């Protein structure tokens, strides 16, 4: 009879990025990683109105819940990129693209 080694359970959030990388989905892995630190990087006010949806190359695409917020975030683009660099280092996007379309959950 074989003895099974017991290991501690790992949170799924810690495994998703690795699985995406193993499947060759680096862009999805990048978007997932940004999503994990989004609120920390941009702050709760921005995170309430905007969410990352995709990474194409080094450009982060984000959806915003209104045209007013879209315009505001476009004006704050450089500060947001700097905040993402502080949190993500070399893995941070080099540019941001915003589009209206995010529907907040109540």
Domains annotated on the chain, with CATH: 13-100 (3.30.300.180)
Mean pLDDT, rounded, for 29-55:
90
The model's pTM is: 0.71
The number of CA neighbours under 13 Å toward the Cβ of 70 is 13
How many Å apart are CA 18 and CA 14, to the nearest integer? 8
Of the two residues 19 and 85, the one the predictor is more confident about is 85
CA–CA distance from 74 to each of 9, 64, 65, 94 (Å)? 42, 11, 13, 14
pLDDT in tens, 77-100: 999 999 999 999 998 999 999 999
How many Å apart are CA 56 and CA 40, to the nearest integer? 22
Q: Report pLDDT for 32.
A: 81
Query: CA angle at residue 105 from 75 to 13, to 5 degrees?
Result: 90
Q: Report pLDDT for 16.
A: 58
């Amino acid at each position: 009879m074989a003895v099974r080694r017991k290991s501690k359970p790992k949170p799924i959030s810690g495994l998703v990025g690795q699985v995406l990388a193993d499947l060759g989905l680096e862009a999805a892995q990048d978007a997932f990683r940004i999503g994990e630190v989004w609120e920390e990087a941009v702050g709760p006010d921005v995170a309430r109105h905007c969410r990352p949806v995709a990474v194409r190359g080094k450009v982060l695409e984000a959806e915003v819940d209104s045209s007013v917020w879209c315009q505001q975030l476009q004006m704050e683009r450089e500060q947001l990129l700097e905040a993402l660099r502080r949190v993500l280092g070399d893995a941070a996007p080099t540019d941001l693209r915003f589009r209206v379309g995010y529907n907040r959950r109540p």
